[in-house]
Amino acid sequence: MNNHLICKHKKIDGSNETSIDIKHYLNSLEKKPGALNNSLALKNIPSLKSIYDIYFKTKPREFIDLLKKYQNEDLEDMILSIKNQGKNETHKEKTTNPSKVALMTENQLMLYNHLTIKEVH
């Protein structure tokens, strides 16, 4: 008979306790990313749940991709890597493209000129 290690869990003392590893659910979550919101596997890691809620709540697929990318790291390193990615992505989103600013300014000037011209007549 072939003996293959499937997974490892730390022994938990007490009754009605569970040991859930989010890494074991990545393929399922990839198929149903909306399940992250109520995932017990995610809720069991409050720091990771917090990162999800802050940076990835509207981007669950991106979060799952990061979980898969860092799945071979230990949990603490994985959490730190995902948190850094979330911060970087949020910073990129908040940075406004200069050409977009120029276009917005031009539109505002056109509106202002239009209003000013109407008042003069």
pLDDT (tens digit per residue) in 67-119 = 999 999 999 999 999 999 998 887 665 555 667 677 777 777 777 776 666 55
Residues in the chain: 121
pTM beyond 0.75, yes or no: no
Burial of 26 (0-12, 13-18, 19+ CB in 10 A): middle
Report how far residue 21's alpha carbon sits from residue 38's, in angstroms, rounded to the nearest whole number. 15
